[in-house]
Structure 1
Amino acid sequence: METFIALGILIAFLLIILIKTAVIVPQRMEFVVERLGKYRGTLQAGFHILIPFFDRVAYKRSLKEEPIDIEAQTCITADNVTLEVDGILYIQVIDSKKSAYGIDNFHFAAAQLAQTSLRSAIGKIDLDKTFEARETLNGQVVLALDEAAENWGVKVLRYEIKDIQPPRTVLEAMEKQMKAEREKRADIARSEGDKQSTINRAEGDKAEAIARSEGEKLKRINEAEGRAREITMVAEATAEGIRRVAEALSMPGGSEAANLEVAKSYINEFGKLAKENNTMILPANLTDVASMVTAAMSTIKQANKPLQPKPQPPVKRPVRPRETLQP
C-alpha cells in the first residue's frame, strides 16, 4: 500500500514538472525565454522543454499584422483651422527580442508617435489640401514611424486616415463654396452651349445661303443654256426652212408654186384686215394681184442674190508743190 502511494506521488511530481517545463508555441508566434532573469533564446512554433526553476517564458509575441486604432485628435492646419482627425495604424513584429527589450510598450509608443507625426504633417498644409492630400499624409506618418520603430523590432506597414472633421462653421463655408462652384460650372456650361448653338445656327444659315445661291446660279445657267439652245434651234430651223425654200424655187415649177403661196397669203392677210378694222386703207391697184405677186417674187429673188461688195472710191494722193529755182 505504501508502495502504491509513493508511486502515485512520484507520477504526480513528474506530471507537474512536465507541465512546468513543456512549452508548445503556436504557429505565427514566438516566445522569449529567460534563464535566471537573462535572455536565453527565442522559441519558434512547435514543442519545447525548459529547465524547471531556471527557464521561464518572459514574453509572447505574435508575428501577425496588428491594427492599432488611433483616437481622434485635434490638429491645426497652416491657415489656422482646427480639425478632428482619427486613423488606424498597421504594424508587425519582425524581431521578438527587440520588441521585448527595445521598448516597454511598442503599441502605445507607435500610437503616440503616429498622432504627433500626423499633427506635424497637417500643420504644413492648408485646409483645402487636407482632403485631397490623404495619401501624402499617410506616407509621411509611415515614414516617421518606420524610422523610430526599427529599434523596436517592429515594421510599420501602413497608416490610413479614417475621418477628417472640420468645425461646423467651416463645413457651412465649404458647402457654400462648393455650391457657388457648381453654379459657376453650370453657367459656364450653359454659356458654352449657347455659344455653340449660335455658331451652329450661323453655320447652318451660311450653308443654306450658299446652297440657295448655288441653286440659283445653276438655275440661271440652265435657263441661259436653254434659251441659247432654243435660239440656236430656231435659227437652224429658219435657216433650214430658207434653204429648202431656195431649193424649191430652183426646182422646175418652183416659181409658180411660190407665186401661188404669195397670192394666197396676200388674200388671207387682206381678209383678216377687213375683219378686224372698220377703217381700211386700200392700195390703188387692189385688183391687180398679179402685180403684187410679181413685186413680192422680185424681192425674194433680190434677197437670194449674194451681196456684191461696194466699190471703194479711189485714193487721192496729195500733190507735192513743184519747187521753183532761185536765180
Structure 2
Amino acid sequence: MAGLIISGLLALGVVVLLFMVIRIVPQREIYVVERLGKYQSSMDAGLHFLMPFIDRVAYKHSQKEIVRDVPRQSCITKDNIEVSIDGVMYLQVVDPKAASYGVDDYVMAAQQLAQTTLRSVIGKIDLDKTFEERGEINMEVVRAVDEAAQPWGVKVLRYEVADINLPVSIKDAMEKQVRAERERRAVVAESEGERQAAINRSEGDRQAAINRSEGEKQEMINISEGEKMKQINEAEGRAQQIELIATATGEGLRQVAAAVKEDGGQEAVSLRIAEQYVTAFEKVAKESTTMLLPQGLSDIGGTVASLQKVLKTVEKTPA
C-alpha cells in the first residue's frame, strides 16, 4: 500500500516536472522567459524546454494586431468650440522584451497618449476642418503615438476617429448654415440657368436677324440680277427691233426705187403721192376744226410734180 502511494507521488512529481520543463507556444504568440528573475529569452511558436525551478514564463504577448477603443473625450477646437471625440487604435507588439519591461501597460499608455495627442491636434484646427481633415488628424495621432511607443516595443499601425459629437446649439447653427448654402446654390443655379437661357435667346435672335438680312440681301441681289437681265433682254430686243425695222425700211426703199425705174413707175409714184397728199389733208380736216391750207392747195398736180422732181434729185445723188 505504501509502495503504491509512493509510486503515485513519483508519477505526479514527474508530471509536474514535465509541465514545468516543457512549454508549447501557440502560433503568433511569444513567451518571455526569466531565469532567476532576469530576462533570459523570448520563445516563438513551437515546443520549448525550461529549466525547472529556475526558468519561468514571465510574460505572454500576441503578435496579432491589437484593437483598442480610445475613450471619448472633450476637445476644444481653434475657434473655441467644444467637441466630443472617440476613436479606434490598432497596435502590434514588435519587440516582446521592450513590451515586457519598457512600460507597465503599453495598451493603456498608447491610449492615454492618443488622447492627449488628439486634443493637441484638434486645438490647432477650426471646427469645419475637423470634418474635412479626418485623414490628416489620424496621421498626426499615429505619427506622435508611434514615435513615443518605440521604446515600448509596440508599433502603432492605425488610428481612426470614430465619431465627433457637437453641442446641440452648434448642430442647429451648422444645419442653418447648410440650408442657407443650399438655398444660395439653388438661387445661383437658377440665375445661371436664366442667364444662359437669355444668352441662348439673344444668340438665336441674332442668328435669326443675320439669316433674315442674308435672305433679304440675297433676295435684293436676285431682284437686281433679274432687273438687269430684263433690261439687257429689253435692250437687246429693242436693238434687234430697230435693226429689223431699219433692214425692212431699207429693203422697202430699195424695192420702191427699183419700181420707180421700171416702166410706168413714175406715174405710179405720182399717183401714190397724190393719194397720200389728199388722205393727209382729209385726216387733218376731220381731227381739227381750224385748218391752215398751204398756198396752191388746188394745184395738186403741181405739188406732185414738185415731189417727183425731188425724188429724181435723190435718185441722181450718189449713195
TM-score, scaled relative to structure 2 = 0.77
1:16 Cα offset (Å): 2.2
Check the 8 A contact 1:33/1:42 in 2, yes or no. Answer: yes
The residue aligned with 1:301 is none
2:90 is matched by which residue type in structure 1? Y
Alignment CA distance shift 1:255-1:284 (3 Å): farther
The answer to whether structure 1 residue 239 and structure 2 residue 211 are counterparts is no
Distance in 2, matches of 1:255 and 1:245, equals 15
1:242 Cα offset (Å): 2.1
The residue aligned with 2:158 is 158
1:76 is matched by which residue type in structure 2? I
Distance in 1, matches of 2:119 and 2:38, equals 40
Q: Deviations over 1:54-105 (max 9, x none)?
A: 1110000011111110111111112211111000011110000000001110
1:27 Cα offset (Å): 1.2
1:247 Cα offset (Å): 2.2
More helix by share: 2
Check the 8 A contact 1:248/1:254 in 2, yes or no. Answer: no
1:6 Cα offset (Å): 5.4
The residue aligned with 1:85 is 85
Check the 8 A contact 1:72/1:84 in 2, yes or no. Answer: yes
1:22 is matched by which residue type in structure 2? I
The residue aligned with 1:32 is 32
The residue aligned with 2:129 is 129
The residue aligned with 2:167 is 167
Secondary structure of the structure 1 residue equivalent to 2:132: coil
Q: Deviations over 1:117-146 (max 9, x none)?
A: 101111111112111121121111112111
Distance in 1, matches of 2:170 and 2:124, equals 19
Secondary structure of the structure 1 residue equivalent to 2:284: coil
- Bigger mean CA offset, 160-169 vs 245-254: 245-254
Listed as ranges, the matches of 1:224-303 within 5 Å are 224-251=224-251, 283-284=283-284
Distance in 1, matches of 2:128 and 2:146, equals 28
Distance in 1, matches of 2:34 and 2:23, equals 13
Distance in 1, matches of 2:254 and 2:160, equals 122
Secondary structure of the structure 2 residue equivalent to 1:283: helix
Distance in 2, matches of 1:284 and 1:78, equals 125
The residue aligned with 2:196 is 196
Distance in 2, matches of 1:133 and 1:284, equals 120
1:87 is matched by which residue type in structure 2? G
The answer to whether structure 1 residue 142 and structure 2 residue 150 are counterparts is no
Distance in 2, matches of 1:88 and 1:255, equals 132
1:244 Cα offset (Å): 2.0
The residue aligned with 1:179 is 179
The residue aligned with 2:55 is 55
Unaligned runs of 5+ in 2: 257-281, 288-319
Secondary structure of the structure 2 residue equivalent to 1:284: helix
1:286 Cα offset (Å): 5.8
- Bigger mean CA offset, 94-103 vs 183-192: 183-192
Q: Deviations over 1:27-59 (max 9, x none)?
A: 111000111211111111110111111111000
The residue aligned with 1:261 is none
Q: Deviations over 1:153-190 (max 9, x none)?
A: 00111110011111010000000001101111111111
The residue aligned with 2:304 is none
Check the 8 A contact 1:249/1:255 in 2, yes or no. Answer: no
Distance in 2, matches of 1:11 and 1:99, equals 38
Distance in 2, matches of 1:95 and 1:212, equals 88
The RMSD of aligned alpha carbons is 2.1
1:53 is matched by which residue type in structure 2? F
The residue aligned with 2:316 is none
The residue aligned with 1:107 is 107
Give the percent of matched residue pairs that are identical in Structure 1 and Structure 2: 50
Check the 8 A contact 1:92/1:154 in 2, yes or no. Answer: yes
1:23 is matched by which residue type in structure 2? R
Distance in 2, matches of 1:5 and 1:285, equals 189
1:283 Cα offset (Å): 3.2
TM-score, scaled relative to structure 1 = 0.75
Distance in 2, matches of 1:226 and 1:91, equals 96
The residue aligned with 2:97 is 97
Distance in 2, matches of 1:254 and 1:173, equals 119
The residue aligned with 1:260 is none
